Structure formats: C-alpha cells, structure tokens
Amino acid sequence: MALQTAVTKLLNIRYPVIQGGMIWVSGWKLAAACSRAGVLGLIGAGSMDPELLRHHIQRLRQACPKGGWGVNLPIFFQHAEAMIQVIEDENVPVVVTSGGSPGVYTARLKDAGRRVLHVTSTPKLALKCQSAGVDAVVVEGFEAGGHNGRDELTTMTLVGRCVDTVDIPVIAAGGIADGRSMAAALALGAAGVQIGTALVASEESSAHPAFKQAVIEANDGDTALLMRQLIPVRTLKNQWAHDVMAAEARGADKDTLLNLLGEGRSRRGMFEGDWQQGELEIGQAAAGVKGIRPAGEIIEDMVAQCRHTIARLAALQ
Amino acid sequence: MALQTAVTKLLNIRYPVIQGGMIWVSGWKLAAACSRAGVLGLIGAGSMDPELLRHHIQRLRQACPKGGWGVNLPIFFQHAEAMIQVIEDENVPVVVTSGGSPGVYTARLKDAGRRVLHVTSTPKLALKCQSAGVDAVVVEGFEAGGHNGRDELTTMTLVGRCVDTVDIPVIAAGGIADGRSMAAALALGAAGVQIGTALVASEESSAHPAFKQAVIEANDGDTALLMRQLIPVRTLKNQWAHDVMAAEARGADKDTLLNLLGEGRSRRGMFEGDWQQGELEIGQAAAGVKGIRPAGEIIEDMVAQCRHTIARLAALQ
C-alpha cells in the first residue's frame, strides 16, 4: 500500500487524507463519498442540532458500515454537551474537535476507544492538544477557509514548526487542494492532510448550487480574512464581505461587527444560496476549483498527482 | 549533480536557491558567501545610493569572479534610473527587479545577455512578467518578510497557481527557511526557492546585531503584516509595529500611517539596531531561526535536508 503514514494507521484509512468537517457543506453524503474513496469522511456538526446530527450519523453508518468516518464538532458551540451525548450514543469512531480547549472533552471522548483529533493554528496550541491526550492534531494555516487563527501563520510555516514541537502526528490544513500541495505538506513533515475547499463544489456537498458556482468562479485574491476582532473567518469577497471590510477599515468596534454578522449569516450564504449577502466560507485554494465533480474523483486525482509529484522530486536526486 | 532544475541552468548555480536581496541586510559580503555556497547571491540595492551600489558590485566581483551573483533592485525606487546605469556599467550578470512594472526596464536590462527576474505576488502579475520577457519569476507569499502583495496569497496556494499560469520558471519565496519547505516548494512545482529570513541572522548579514538578536528571539506569531493601505510590509511586532497596528484598528487614514512611518524607519531598525522604534522587516519563518551561523552552513544544511526530505517522500511510494 502506498502513502502509508502514522495517520493512515491511526484512522484505518487508505490514504493520509481527511475530509474537513464543514458547516452546511459536509453532511453524511459527502462524508460517505469520501470514506468510500479511502479517506476519513467527516460530518460537519457545527450547523446541526443534536437530532439532525443523530440522523446523519445513522445514515453514514448505513452507507459505510466498516468505519473510516467521524464527526467534526466545534466545542464552543451552544449544543456541545448534547452533541457529545449523541456521539457517545451512536458510538462514533472518530471525533475531530475544533474551537475551545482540547482539555474539555478529549478524555471523555477517548474513553470508549474513540480516536480524537483537535484542530488548531499554532505550535503552542498544538502542544496543548498533545497534553490533553489527543491522538493527532490538525493544524490549519491562514489560507484555510472558515474560522482561522489570530496569529495568521501560513501552512508553509506552521506545519514544520508544529512537527518540531509535538510528538503526535500533525495533519496539515489550509491551501491543500491538489496532489502537489498534498506532497508539499508531507514534505513539511505532516503525516496527512485535511482538505475542505477542494470538496465544497463536489457533487455530494450540500452547499447551495449558487455557493458552488461562486467557488468555481472565484479567482486568486477573491477571498479575505474578516472579523479579526471577533473570530477571524476567511470568506469569499461578496457584497457582505466588502461591507465588513469597509467597516473594519473605518475602525469598526466589536458591536458594529456583530451587527453586520447578524444571525444565520452562514446558513443564508452556504445553504440557502444568498451569494451576495450570505457568509461564504472558503479558502484561497478556491481559485483552483474549476467545476462540480464527484468527491471520489477529486480524491483519486489528488492522490495520483501526489504520487506523481513524489516521483518527480525523486528524479531530481 | 543533484537538484538540477530550470533555475540552476538559467542562473548557472549549483543549487536551485536564490538569496533574497534584502535592504540593509544583503551587501556584497552576504552575497559572496551565498554565491560561494552554490546559490545566487544578491546585493539588496534598495537601501543604497548608486555609488554605494557600485562599490558593493565591485567588491562582490572581486570575491566571486566566476559569477553566480546579481543585484536586487526595487524599481519604484527614487534612484532607479541611476542604479540601472550602474548595473549596466558594471556588467552585472543577473538582475532581480521588484516593485513597479516589469515592463519598464526588462528589455533594456536583457540587452547585454543579462538574466532578468522579477518578484511578484499573484498569478496575474506573473503572467505580466512573462509578457515583459523576464527569464523567471519570483513569487512571494503572504508569510514573506518585507514588502508584500495586497491579495495575501500564501506560498502554498500561490506557487501552484503561478506554475499553472506561466511557462517560465517559477521561484517560490515566503516561508522557505529549511530543507523541508524547500522540498515543499519544489513539490508545488517551483523550479527554485528564494530565502531571506533564514539568512538575516547569518554571520555575513549586515543586519545590526540587535536586529539579528530580535530575529533569534522571535516566536511564532511575532510578525505582522502592517500598512495594508500603503505598501503592505511584514515586520517583527516591536513597539513601533504595535503602534501602527493600534492606529490601523482605530481606522487610521493614509496620512496618519505615513506619519507613523516617518523617514528612515527601516534603516533605524535593521541597520542602526533600534529594535523597538525601528522597522524590522522579517518573515514568519523567523520563529525557526535559532542562532547566528555562517550563511554557507545554513545553505548546506538546507540542501542536505531537502535531499533527505525527498528521500523520505520517495520511501512512502
């Protein structure tokens, strides 16, 4: 078997790739397609309530009875406690937590032999994850879509620093959307990669067609990091994002920004398709997304290009 | 010979590495040390007047009569025309231009068989460089020190996009400071890398000892991108940088920022050693710099680690 790393062994998957859990985008259908393609499929629980999560877990288990999937849960989330209960009831094999402290739920989640990963954005926090007992850490660079770290460390600088700081496997996220960037992440010392943006416009994604279309049309420089004073988030630069950027340039305070965010902004954009007034979370890698394709095909192409890239590098020696 | 690429052939150097031309940091001594180590050494002309540049070129030619060196020239610079004249008089073999349009001087500089590269930060501008006739393009990501692009594309996303956009060789810059990131850049499709931050604290660098010490002490998250309304620049977060960030958060206008910048801020920081009130241009990779070492040793270690990294990747196949 090719491309075996500590992550393929840890998660019992064919390729060292995790499909990022994305709100409004990664329900059981996308997770199942990714799991069938040999990578870890994740339900993005951050946009679900506990009963909807239970439904998605049950459908995913039916589709992939052998495992190779899990749930991503932002633990600062209002329903976190109830969501953890559902994860335990349904015996989810892998949980990727994000936001909040890895110390809060890791021990409890690991109790039943569950694998627990945590998403973070600095070497210092990666060390905190290791101390909390997580099995591997997902480290996400500035170029990543969605919520983002305050230190703005990019994947190119972040991954090596984390690898030098912790002993547990490091999974690179942010800007990884093809086989070249996958190979680059492995070169930096990552034992695997997490991909999100590359799958938003997949057939199995539950993103609204208008959001998928906006991703396909995005060019270089069409995303921005917004809301640095609240929780930084990378989105497409639509009308709403431009309004936020203009307010920030004027020195807007937190209350003004909270008002601009309002309620349900991400649902409105990513799930309901309001591509000008909604929040469209996506990474810089959107510029390379060219059409709507099956997730399995995206993953197969990525892995094949990664192997080709490694062979190309080996020929330089 | 190992690690031969289009860039080693183009520039007649042993390794596909360029030492970035850095104001106040890379005079003839650093350029000579790098050239002797088998990479392209560059005088950073942006902090020199024409006669000082001539002096540095003459000393560099004496030190390295066989070539393997050149000059980096910001062409928006006040003395640009006179500097170009010196470059022609002294028959400099390689010129890396930055800032401004590659259309202005490229044809003239190439006239005498000179190699001309241009530094840019987007695929669109890389295409413009190619149209202007440059031999290769240096593409610099958000994590890089010093002046920086407005689109904030990181090295991980920028390099592959540029490789897909132009036919000329792409040299990756930003966040590349060891052999892992060098191998990562080659994986992304770069034909070479440019390194700057890794050499600021080298023995042969003309950075003030206090600046070198600040780089050695820098941790992850200790740099920031400032002055987005003027020309964005990445610096260490010293007292001056914190003052700029505070002004920006209050919605400061261009005049306020120009006042905060004042005159000679970079000289004061990088050359005179005012580590709190000076401008200390450095990339995110500073967090990995641990001591003052000879430039040749830094480069040898980097190349050796790159080769080791490629062998490690090949073993995954």
The per-residue pLDDT for A2 is 81
Domain boundaries along the sequence of chain A:
6-206+289-314, 209-285
pLDDT of residue B92: 98
CB neighbour burial string for B231-243, b if at least 16 within 10 angstroms, e if fewer: ebbbbbbbebbee
Rounded to 10 deg, the angle between the B50-63 and B28-36 helix axes is 30
- Give the CA distances from residue A105 to residues A41, A74, A100, A114, A130, in Å, rounded to whole numbers and listed in that order: 21, 11, 10, 12, 13
Burial class (CB in 10 A: 0-12, 13-18, 19+), A52: middle
Residue A1 pLDDT class (50, 70, 90 cuts): low
For the segment B124-150, the average pLDDT, to the nearest whole number, is: 97
Residue partners of A73: CB distance under 8 A and separation at least 6: A21, A45, A46, A80, A83, A84, A87, A95, A96, A97, A98
With a cut of 70, say whether residue B242 has pLDDT above it: yes
pLDDT, average across residues A220-225: 98
Query: What type of residue sits at position B81?
Result: E
- Other beta carbons within 10 angstroms of residue B291's beta carbon come to 7
CA dihedral A302, B3, B175, B205 (to 10 degrees): 180
Residue A220 touches chain B, beta carbons under 8 Å: yes
- Both tokens of residue B26? 């890379």
Q: Percent of chain A at pLDDT above 70?
A: 100
Interval A64-85 mean pLDDT = 93
Angstroms from A241 CA to nearest CA on chain B: 15
- Beta pairing class for A146-147 and A233-236: antiparallel
Task: Tell whether the torsion through CA atoms of A162, A164, A168 and A173 is positive or negative.
Answer: positive
* pLDDT (0 to 100) of residue B1: 56
Percent share of chain A, pLDDT over 90: 97
Residue B256: count other Cβ atoms within 10 Å of its Cβ: 15
Question: Which B-chain residues 9-68 have CB contacts (< 8 A) with chain A?
Answer: none
Q: pLDDT digit string (tens) for A281-301? A: 999 999 999 999 999 999 999
How far is Cα A197 from Cα A178, in angstroms, rounded to an integer?
Answer: 11
For the sheet containing B233-236, what is the strand order? B146-147, B233-236, B223-226
Contact yes or no for A210/A275 (Cβ under 8 A)? yes
Smallest CA–CA separation between B111 and chain A, in Å? 32
The pLDDT of residue A104:
92
Confidence at residue B266, expressed as pLDDT on a 0 to 100 scale = 97
Q: Closest Cα partner for B239 from B258, B255, B260, B217?
A: B260
Handedness of CA B189, A204, A232, A257 (dihedral sign): positive
Taking CA–CA distances from A157, the nearest residue in chain B reads: B175
Say if the Cβ atoms of B122 and A220 lie within 8 Å.
yes
CA-to-CA dists, residue B17 to A32, A93, B48, B187, B194, angstroms: 44, 45, 24, 15, 6
CA neighbor of B234 nearest in space, from B186, B174, B164, B282: B282
- B221 and A161: CB-CB below 8 Å? no
Q: What is the torsion angle, in degrees rounded to the nearest 10, for the CA atoms of residue A59, residue A63, residue A65 and residue A69?
A: -80
A6-206+289-314: CATH topology: TIM Barrel (3.20.20)
* CA distance from start to end of chain B: 24
**Tens digit of pLDDT for each residue in B66-111?**
999 999 999 987 789 999 999 999 999 999 999 989 999 999 999 8
Q: Tell me if B180 and A161 make a contact (CB, 8 A cut-off).
A: no
Give tens-digit pLDDT for A127-138: 999 999 999 999
Contact (CB<8Å) A249/B251: yes
Measured between CB atoms, which of B5, B180, B221 is closest to A122? B221
Q: Do B2 and A317 touch (CB under 8 A)?
A: yes
Reported residue count of chain B is 317
Q: B12-16, B99-103, B223-227, B251-255: which range is least confident on average? A: B99-103
Of A187, A285, A310, the CB nearest to B157: A285
Q: How confident is the model at residue B33 (pLDDT cuts 50, 70, 90)?
A: very high
- Nearest residue in A to B237, CA atom: A151
B245 touches A at CB < 8 Å: no
Q: Which strands, in side-by-side order, build the sheet including B170-173?
A: B17-19, B192-195, B170-173, B136-140, B115-120, B94-98, B69-74, B41-44
Domain B6-206 has CATH 3.20.20.70: yes
Q: In angstroms, what separates the C-alpha of A149 from chain B's closest C-alpha?
A: 10
Helix (H, G, I), strand (E, B) or coil at B104: coil
Using a CB-CB distance cutoff of 8 angstroms, which residues of chain B are in contact with residue A244? Answer: none
Q: Do B153 and A5 touch (CB under 8 A)?
A: no
Closest-approach residue (CA) in chain B for A1: B317
- Would you state the pLDDT for residue B5? 98
Cross-chain Cβ contact A187/B189 below 8 Å: no
Q: Is the dihedral of CA B97, B102, B106, B109 positive or negative?
A: negative
Average pLDDT over residues A230-252: 97
pLDDT over 70 at A140, yes or no: yes
Residues B287-301 have a mean pLDDT of: 98
